[in-house]
Amino acid sequence: MIPVRGSTAAQATPDQVDALLLFFCGALVLLAAFGLAFYVGGLGGRARAARAFRFVLLGLAVTVVLAVAGGYGMVAGSPLIGHLLGMPDPGLASLAGTDPAAASPYPLARAGYVIAVLVLCTSVVAVAVASRLTLRAWIVFTVLWLPLVVFPVAYGVFSLDDGWAVAGLRVVDFGGALPIVAAGGSAVGVLLACGRGEHQQPHPVTPSLLAFGGAALWVGWLGLVVGSEGSLDAYAPLMAIGAFVASATGVLMWMVVDAVLLRRPALTSALWGAFAGLVSVTAASGVLTLGWAMLVGALSALACATMVDLAARARFGPSLTLCVVTIVGGLVGLLFPGLFASGSGMVDSGNFDLFIAQGIAGMAVLLYATTASLLLALALRFTAGLTRIRYGAGRGLPAQRPVLPERDAAPVADGVARQADPGR
């Protein structure tokens, strides 16, 4: 038999239980990041799914390295610039302490969860721009974009004592909807700098790839919602069930909209609806009853489906759909507590203070992220190079070998056939 240290089994402390919850939820958030690559990238075919997965991996690596090198302190550390940015904490030294074995595991577990949320934000942009940017441009953009855009926005949410959003404006944002909105706005800024799509021929879509990516995204986003509570208390199960309910009503509402407008609801209708419901419930997951969660999921899916149909005329492809869902769903989720939050919402209290604060925070983050990312992408475009498309060549067509005229195509094909079959 294997010897056991001690005569009795040690009981887990509350900090250890909560740390285990955060580690598990952080792993689910990473699963959602990879699910985005398979689902949204898979809408353009297997090759685009593989490229999106590569961009997510690179974004994950850059985000984790920057966070451990000091970025986590800029997000959740002691104030460096009041209400805007924290002090860098290289190596997470302040969390581990002098004796890591004797320290509580909770601070490091929370750091891991927050870093996973930052990776998810990076993945939203990575999947949206994977078919447009070069790998070099994506790495340079991520290194500059994280400290300029994501860290100040995330500090407002995750620095509970000094953040400009939760401590300054008293914004209700449990799961980090503001960083998600910032990621969607940043993706829009990069796409605007790149121009319209590559006008490639449509590739066959594999339903199994979409189903796997959508399921991974669905399950992983539940980790984002539940982990935002930070502890395994009485509210955590309610938040999990509320997220289930919001995603379910989002599925039904999006399919109804597609049935009315397009008369052909498909697998993507259900998956986009579930995603819209989950994004909307992220901000107010800690203050919603099941009935309100059902309503916010339905409203978010309705708004997102309508905006996606309007944005489809811009011809940016599935990337723009991802941007619309993250932005519109996030804003709906932010504004919803301003109307229906118990005690402070407009319906209950009779004033618009919380609603105005939620709206100001959401729109300010969206405008700042879009503008900053657009300027950063334009700077890269005219210096180091940004996209795989040759600007000004063929009205945005991808740079490739010129195609021979039709009159030369037949002799070339006949020559290839003669090489393969000398008997001809």
pLDDT, tens digit (0-9, with 9 covering 90-100), for 292-329: 899 999 999 999 998 887 777 666 677 888 999 999 99
pLDDT in the model for residue 325:
94
The predicted model gives 369-396 an average pLDDT of: 74
Q: What is the mean pLDDT of the chain?
A: 84
Residues whose CB falls within 8 Å of the CB of residue 246, separated by 6 or more in sequence, listed in order: 277, 278, 280, 281, 293, 294, 296, 297, 300
The pLDDT, as a whole number, for residue 70 is 93
Give, in degrees to the nearest 5, the angle at Cα 379 between 401 and 389: 15
Q: Are 283 and 319 in contact (CB under 8 A)?
A: no
More confident residue, 398 or 224: 224
Alpha-carbon 206 to chain mean position: 23
Return the closest-CA partner of residue 327 out of 338, 311, 341, 315. Answer: 311
Which of 142, 166, 170 lies closest to 154 in space, CA to CA? 166
Q: Which residue has the higher pLDDT, 44 or 119?
A: 119
Say which residue, 265 or 59, is predicted with more confidence.
59
pLDDT of 179 > 90? The answer is: yes
**How distant, in Å, are the alpha carbons of 259, 397, 398 from that of 402?**
42, 11, 11
72-81, 123-132, 230-239: which range is least confident on average?
230-239
Q: How much is the pTM?
A: 0.86
Share of the chain above pLDDT 70, in %: 83
